[in-house]
């Protein structure tokens, strides 16, 4: 059986007054998802456990089929798995953003969690300079992608560092950083490193928007079960972001890199779809992740989010669903979490899901797919990591 799980990151939303109290998904022209909904099982899935924060790390781990309450250790460790960093069991791994703040002080505010989506070239130049001047036998900096990098404290598994509680920068846009600044100050070794990094950035890169590093999402090394041994499926992940690649590497799935995959609105949609179909011709399961809707949600960009959803429908959903229909396979479509425009960050609401088994089409009295339609379903996955298992039991 051929199965594709297509995830439009942050696609779900709340009604927006500028859209006549409709969501971007309701407004977007999505003929392919609408057509699929007519013969699908519709559902809601709770991707974020009650006691966990609403992030893509937790949500996508759930969707791939692993319980984050058991396996999640932090955002940084997942991305370290993507970069295949050699880790010790007592290392602490931070995700490290390049950000823009008004000032790194108790009086500062978070302006941009991505330093205006710093380019890959500029991001690497900044991070490589920091590596040169700040690395030692305790601290390691690992370059990543654009604004997303890693900071590792070797043999740093101490309560004071492990339990430091920093907000994800995308959760505090245009808000004070006073709480986080105080948290950093509570761990002087980390605080001094950040101050030195910011001084280096100010001195060497006055022409860039970045003016601070922001370590967060720390935890110890990630360990996941083998995906094939767990589900009996030869699987792969396709995404522009290290988070998804890390989940793939950690569960021994194939990680497919697509040229031109940016994680933004201009990503290589066709390349992702082609790669997914090519893999499915010889294998069983592919997880295709599109970051664009989430980025637009964080930016408060209504029209960009609508456009990202429409491109997902046209360039990802249509070709992959057409292939699966020919194969009598299964197509699952959802988002990992909602990223409401009015919040500009993630929320814990259950996500809408389409499950199309082309060998066993359903009959629905619906003509479209959106959050409201999914809420009308009587199927709710209170633990989203059980979704894939549920599908496999009904093949």
List the domain boundaries for the chain: 3-73+224-393, 84-219
Mean predicted lDDT score pLDDT of the chain: 96
Q: How far apart are CA 201 and CA 195, in angstroms?
A: 10
Q: What per-residue confidence (pLDDT) applies to 60?
A: 98
- How far apart (Å, rounded) are the C-alpha atoms in residues 290 and 268? 10
Say how many C-beta atoms besides its own lie within 10 A of residue 190's C-beta: 24
Q: 232 burial class (0-12, 13-18, 19+ CB within 10 angstroms)?
A: exposed
Residue 37 pLDDT exceeds 80 = yes
Q: How confident is the model at residue 265 (pLDDT cuts 50, 70, 90)?
A: confident
Which fold, 3-73+224-393? Answer: Alkaline Phosphatase, subunit A (3.40.720)
For the chain, what percent of residues have pLDDT higher than 70?
Answer: 100
Tell me if 392 sits within 8 A of 284, measured CB to CB. no
In this prediction, what percent of the chain has a pLDDT beyond 90? Answer: 95
Q: For the segment 336-387, what is each residue's pLDDT rounded down to a tens digit? A: 999 999 999 999 999 999 999 999 998 888 999 999 999 999 999 999 999 9
Contact in structure between 372 and 352 (CB atoms under 8 Å): no
pLDDT for 190: 96
Dist. CA 43–CA 376, nearest whole Å: 8
pLDDT at 156: 87
d(CA 236, CA 262): 18
Q: Which residues pair with 214 in a beta bridge?
A: 97
pTM for this entry? 0.92
Phi-psi region of 72 (alpha: psi -120 to 50; beta: other; left: phi over 0): beta
Q: In what order do the strands lie in the sheet with 380-381?
A: 254-256, 235-238, 285-290, 3-8, 330-334, 351-357, 41-45, 380-381
Q: CB–CB of 10/346 below 8 Å?
A: yes
Encoded tokens for 32 = 């392919």
């Amino acid at each position: 059986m051929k199965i594709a799980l297509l995830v439009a990151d942050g696609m779900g939303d709340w009604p927006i007054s500028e859209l006549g109290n409709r969501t971007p998904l309701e407004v977007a022209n999505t003929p392919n998802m609408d057509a699929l909904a007519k013969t699908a099982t519709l559902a809601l899935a709770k991707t974020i456990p009650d006691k966990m924060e609403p992030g893509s790390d937790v949500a996508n781990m759930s969707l791939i089929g692993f319980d984050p309450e058991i396996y999640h250790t932090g955002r940084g460790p997942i991305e370290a798995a993507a970069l295949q960093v050699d880790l010790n069991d007592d290392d602490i791994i931070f995700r490290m953003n390049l950000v823009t703040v008004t000032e790194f002080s108790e009086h500062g505010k978070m302006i941009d969690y991505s330093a205006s989506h710093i380019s890959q070239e500029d991001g690497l130049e900044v991070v490589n300079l920091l590596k040169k001047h700040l690395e030692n036998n305790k601290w390691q900096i690992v370059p990543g992608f654009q604004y997303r990098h890693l900071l590792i404290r070797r043999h740093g598994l101490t309560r004071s560092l492990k339990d430091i509680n920093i907000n994800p920068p995308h959760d505090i846009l245009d808000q004070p950083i006073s709480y986080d600044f105080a948290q950093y100050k509570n761990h002087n070794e980390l605080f001094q490193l950040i101050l030195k990094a910011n001084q280096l950035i100010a001195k060497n890169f006055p022409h860039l928007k970045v003016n601070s590093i922001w370590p967060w999402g720390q935890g110890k090394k990630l360990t996941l079960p083998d995906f094939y041994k767990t589900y009996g499926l030869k699987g792969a992940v396709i995404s522009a972001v290290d988070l998804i690649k890390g989940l793939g590497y950690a569960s021994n799935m194939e990680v497919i890199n697509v040229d031109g995959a940016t994680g933004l609105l201009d990503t290589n949609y066709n390349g992702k779809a082609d790669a997914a179909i090519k893999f499915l011709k010889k294998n069983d399961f592919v997880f295709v992740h599109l970051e664009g809707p989430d980025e637009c949600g964080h930016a408060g960009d209504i029209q960009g989010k609508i456009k990202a959803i429409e491109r997902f429908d046209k360039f990802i959903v249509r070709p992959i669903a057409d292939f699966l229909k020919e194969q009598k396979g299964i197509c699952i479509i959802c988002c990992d979490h909602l990223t409401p425009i009015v919040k500009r960050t993630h929320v814990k609401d259950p996500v809408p899901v389409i499950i199309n088994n082309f060998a066993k089409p359903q009959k629905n009295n619906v003509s479209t797919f959106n959050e409201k339609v999914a809420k009308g379903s009587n199927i709710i996955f209170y633990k989203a990591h059980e979704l894939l298992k549920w599908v496999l039991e009904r093949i």
